[in-house]
Amino acid sequence: MPAQSSRAPALSGKVAIVTGGGTGIGLAIAKAFVDEGAHVVIAGRSQASLDKAAAGIGAHAIAADVSQEADAGRLAKETATRFGGVDILVNNAGVTGQVANAEDLDIAQWDETMAINIRGTILCIKYCVPLMRARGGGSIINMSSLMGLRGYPMRSAYTATKFAVIGITEAVAQEVGIHGIRVNALCPGAVNGELMQRVIAARAAKENRPAEEIIKVNYTDKAALKRWVEPEEVARAALFLASDQSSSVTSERIKVDAGRM
């Protein structure tokens, strides 16, 4: 029989919040954390879908719209009340924003993208930092994107928010390092899943090109590995940043993009 591993779970006893944790990358991260011994709260706007997702991985669900300050504060407080504190925050909640040229933007949709992707990130940080400080440290992982490192046509709203997330990461890391709190950003490339399929469908309609052509020419062929990134691959990077394996890594941005040019 194969030898049993004696490795201790990487996040044993830690308490983690994963926003946008009911689907896609967020759900993959939450599952990876649960598998490594963490108590995990997944947050999102639909209690019913969260409950189903949480039951499937052994997490706890709290419905919250993180763009609303009262909800972000309640999410942090309820997590701490239930589990005794907060050690890890993954700011994953986000929307793709409009796929449109700047001159065609609906500013109401622009404002919604800013509210969820930027305001939601800073609000969760605002309310989790004191809880992490009380625990003697923690890890904050902000979900940026390759579009937080360079602009991309017809994605000005999303790009703006993901550049902002990088700025928040670097600024807050300098504020909270003295308390043993690390702050890093993940920058995924094109990740296989429902969110990316919606973007491709919108591009296909806008550009009058087949979705298959857009995928090949603009995404997979531009990657050194010639494929999508899978949510579980982003989750493994998040696990590294959440664990003591990255104990001296802060104010960093890590690409998970299959080598996309």
Question: What is the spatial distance between Cα 114 and Cα 155, in angstroms, rounded to a whole number?
Answer: 13
Tokens found for residue 214: 């857009």
**Beta carbons within 10 angstroms of residue 29's beta carbon:** 31
CA-based radius of gyration for the chain: 18
Whether 152 is catalytic: no
Q: Are 50 and 21 in contact (CB under 8 A)?
A: yes
The residue among 72, 69, 21 whose CA lies nearest residue 47 is: 21
Question: What is the spatial distance between Cα 139 and Cα 10, in angstroms, rounded to a whole number?
Answer: 13
Instruction: Output the CA torsion sign for 73, 21, 203, 156.
Output: positive
Q: Is 93 exposed, middle or buried (0-12, 13-18, 19+ CB in 10 A)?
A: buried
* Active-site position among 127, 152, 158, 219: 158
Indicate which residues carry an active-site annotation: 158
